[in-house]
């Protein structure tokens, strides 16, 4: 098997510098990485380490200052359409019911709405929202809104999912639930997933590889591989789990441990 | 719930009844001449005397109010969309717009009279001047208050500016637009009345002014009551339109009502 066929995202010498009112801020410096097809990876790091910027560069919403990003064999030069996006906020359209929210990508791309409607209904069922098709977002809990958002990201069955702290605003229990749900859906229908988080536990629970990032300037400090089968249970992983947490902590430096004990523990 | 509503209606009626009582008793206590402050019953009888002669006056006021309001709404929405979508247009239009907003629009009524003369046109123009700015400003605010993520999402879906406006910005702006329209609806009635003070031979404002010259205060009060009634109905229509246009928003408002 040719190795390069297996690579879905390739990032070469990527730097991003923001020029705001004469202040030059290096958001990302010399990032090099590759992501395999259908791999689930996490960018893990504290606020300001450039993980969201990295996601936006992969998506084509932010242009690189130097270097290049190649997704699916093509250089990214404008927003790429064949990816599903999720943000920390559900970003649902308040005036649309669940089903119509899920349908937004179909309308934008201009595919047959009838077929899309059937698929949207199926997806709402997959994310556990059967019977909530006709609810407005404000009639749903935060977790349910993120489920709608997930269904929307999956509508066009994109080969790539970009997720920017999608469960960061949810309570701890719902967050674990959503993580398990995501893994279940990803196993049913594998895609390349790039997941941004500042929770070490979440990164370990979800990803094949964890790219630990450090700020000022944002760069990838170290990559950890997690080979444990999913769903991952910290109790069954035993010492390996704690060792991994300790190592990642060390990599992030003491600063983050104090700054965000809630999620960085 | 039903009994609570009935109770509210009862209490409100009681409030209005008390106003009438206080009004009447003040007349008795201070022995005010009826041409200065007419007793409530005289307002009603005087108003009924006019009968169908009210219609052309009511119609004149209603017509210029609604026509001006519609023109201001269409113009205001268009201008706001232009300003939000074009940096150049925004740069040119916004500073004079902000300045014009401060000009007391009522003071323009006599100038409009000089330029356009007596009639429907000048009255409608005054209504437009009064209602235009709150609509423009609230629409601009609404169109700009979109979550940046929603725009990111739209861009990654390759939506163009027109479909972003149609599917995201505009519906997102609707609550702001309607709060502007509510304000504008009350201002529109005021504008129509002022314009009739300055430049009219018909309308409820014209009646208030002209019957004042002959100290027919009962008729003034009657016309005032009709203007107020129209104001309430017009505002109610805007609220109704809001409920129909934004079923997703109204439940939110009802929720707050239950809470308080």
Domain spans in chain A, listed from the N-terminal domain onward: 34-62+160-264, 91-158
Task: Indicate the range of A33-42, A230-239, B116-125 predicted with least confidence.
Answer: A230-239
CA distance B143 to B139: 6
Complex prediction ipTM: 0.82
Q: Record the tokens describing residue B232, joined without a space.
A: 């309430």
Which tokens hold the place of A203? 């990164």
Nearest to B155 among A79, A87, A105 (CB): A79
Residues 136-155, chain B, touching A (beta carbon < 8 A) = 147, 149-150, 152-155
Which of A59, A138, A139 is nearest residue B156 as measured by Cβ atoms? A59
Counted domains in chain B: 1
Q: Is B171 on the interface with A (CB under 8 A)?
A: yes
- Closest Cα in chain A to B168: A93
Residue B27 lies in a domain: no
Q: Which two tokens stand for residue A73?
A: 């064999």
- Judged by CB atoms closer than 8 Å, whether chains meet at B154 and A108 is answered as yes
Residue B3 lies in a domain: no
Tens-digit pLDDT profile for residues A94-151: 999 999 999 999 998 888 899 999 999 999 998 889 999 999 999 999 999 999 999 9
Residues from chain B that touch A83, judged by Cβ atoms under 8 A, are: 156
Say whether pTM exceeds 0.80: yes
Cβ contact, residue pair A56, B172, below 8 Å: no
Chain A residues close to B249, C-beta within 8 Å:
94-95
Q: Comparing C-alpha atoms, which of A87, A83, A81, A119 is closest to residue A102?
A: A119
Q: What is the pLDDT of residue A261?
A: 41
Q: Among residues B185, B238, B196, B188, which one has the least CA distance to residue B60?
A: B196
What is the per-residue pLDDT for B2? 63
Angle at A16 between CA A10 and CA A18, to 5 degrees: 160
pLDDT tens digits, A177-220: 889 989 999 999 999 999 999 999 999 999 999 999 988 888 89
| B157 interaction partners in chain A (CB closer than 8 Å) | 81, 104-105, 108-109
CA B258 to chain A, closest CA, distance in angstroms equals 16
Residue-wise pLDDT for B80-117, tens only, equals 999 999 999 999 999 999 898 899 988 898 899 889 88
CB A182 within 8 A of CB A150: yes
In this complex, do B149 and A91 lie within 8 Å of one another by their Cβ atoms?
A: yes
Nearby residues of A77 by Cβ (< 8 Å), 6 or more positions away: A60
Q: What are the distances in angstroms from CA A90 to CA A121, A141, A154, B164?
A: 18, 11, 14, 18
Does the pLDDT value for residue B255 go beyond 50? no
- Does B22 fall in a domain? no
Q: Classify residue B7: in a domain, yes or no.
A: no
Q: What Rg do the C-alpha atoms of chain B give, in angstroms? A: 23
Q: Which CATH superfamily is domain A34-62+160-264 in?
A: P-loop containing nucleotide triphosphate hydrolases (3.40.50.300)
- For B250, the closest chain A residue by CA position comes to A95
pLDDT at B253: 52
Question: Cα separation of B206 and A84, whole Å?
Answer: 63
* Domain assignment present for B113: yes
Per-residue confidence band for A22, with pLDDT thresholds at 50, 70 and 90: confident
Containing structural domain, residue B234:
43-259
Q: Measured between CB atoms, does A113 come within 8 Å of chain B?
A: no
CATH of the domain at B239: 1.10.3720.10
Contact A138 B252 (CB under 8 A): yes
Q: What is the pLDDT of residues B7-49, one digit of tens each?
A: 889 999 999 999 999 999 988 899 888 888 898 899 999 989 9
8 Å CB contact of A85 and B152: yes
Are B147 and A91 in contact (CB < 8 Å)?
yes
The chain-wide mean pLDDT, for chain B, equals 90
A-contacting residues in B 174-213 (Cβ below 8 Å): 174
Q: Looking at the domain assignment, is residue B86 inside a domain?
A: yes
DSSP B125-151: HHHHHHHHHHHHHHHHHHHH---HHHH
Residue B13 lies in a domain: no
Cβ within 8 Å, pair B158-A96: no
């Amino acid at each position: 098997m040719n190795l390069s066929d297996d690579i879905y995202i390739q990032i070469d010498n990527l730097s991003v510098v923001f020029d705001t009112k004469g202040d030059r801020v290096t958001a990302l410096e010399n990032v090099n990485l590759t992501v395999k097809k259908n791999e689930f990876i996490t960018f893990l790091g504290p606020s300001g380490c450039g993980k969201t910027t990295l996601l936006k560069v992969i998506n084509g919403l932010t242009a690189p200052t130097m270097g290049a990003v190649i997704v699916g064999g093509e250089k990214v030069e404008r927003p790429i359409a064949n990816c599903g996006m999720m943000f920390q906020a559900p970003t649902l359209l308040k005036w649309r019911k669940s089903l119509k929210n899920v349908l937004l990508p179909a309308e934008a791309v201009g595919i047959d709405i009838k077929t899309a409607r059937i698929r949207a209904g199926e997806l709402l069922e997959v994310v556990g929202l059967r019977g909530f098709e006709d609810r407005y977002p404000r009639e749903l809990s935060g977790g349910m809104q993120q489920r709608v958002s997930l269904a929307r990201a999956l509508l066009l069955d994109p080969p790539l999912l970009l997720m920017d702290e999608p469960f960061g605003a949810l309570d701890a229990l719902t967050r674990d639930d959503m993580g398990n749900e995501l893994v279940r859906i990803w196993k049913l229908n594998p895609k390349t997933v790039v997941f941004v988080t500042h929770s070490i536990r979440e990164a370990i629970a979800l990803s094949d590889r964890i790219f630990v990032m450090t700020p000022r300037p944002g760069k990838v400090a170290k990559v950890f591989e997690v080979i444990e089968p999913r769903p991952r249970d910290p109790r069954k992983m035993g010492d390996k789990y704690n060792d991994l947490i300790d190592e990642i902590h060390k990599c992030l430096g003491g600063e983050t441990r104090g700054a965000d004990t809630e999620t960085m523990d | 719930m039903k009994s609570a509503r009935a109770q509210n209606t009862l209490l409100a009626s009681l409030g209005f009844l008390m106003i009438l009582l206080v009004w009447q008793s003040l007349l008795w206590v201070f022995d005010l001449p009826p041409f200065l402050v007419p007793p409530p019953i005289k307002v009603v009888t005087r108003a009924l005397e006019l009968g169908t002669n009210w219609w052309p006056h009511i119609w004149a006021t209603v017509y210029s109010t609604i026509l001006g309001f519609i023109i201001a709404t269409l113009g205001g929405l268009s201008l706001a969309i232009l300003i939000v979508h074009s940096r150049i247009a925004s740069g040119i239009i916004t500073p004079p717009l902000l300045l014009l907003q401060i000009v007391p629009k009522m003071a323009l009524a006599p100038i409009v009279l000089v330029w356009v003369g007596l009639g429907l046109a000048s009255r409608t123009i005054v209504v437009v001047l009064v209602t235009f700015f709150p609509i423009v400003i609230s629409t601009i605010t609404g169109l700009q208050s979109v979550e940046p993520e929603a725009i990111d999402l739209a861009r990654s879906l390759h939506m163009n500016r027109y479909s972003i406006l149609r599917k995201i910005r505009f519906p997102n702006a609707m609550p702001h637009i309607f709060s502007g329209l509510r304000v504008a609806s009350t201002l529109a009635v005021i504008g129509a009345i002022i314009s009739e003070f300055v430049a009219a031979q018909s309308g409820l404002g014209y009646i208030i002014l002209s019957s004042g010259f002959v100290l027919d205060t009962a008729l003034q009060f009657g016309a005032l009551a009709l203007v107020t009634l129209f104001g309430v109905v017009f505002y109610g229509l805007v609220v109704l339109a809001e409920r129909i246009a934004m079923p997703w928003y109204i439940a939110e408002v009802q929720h707050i009502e239950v809470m308080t």
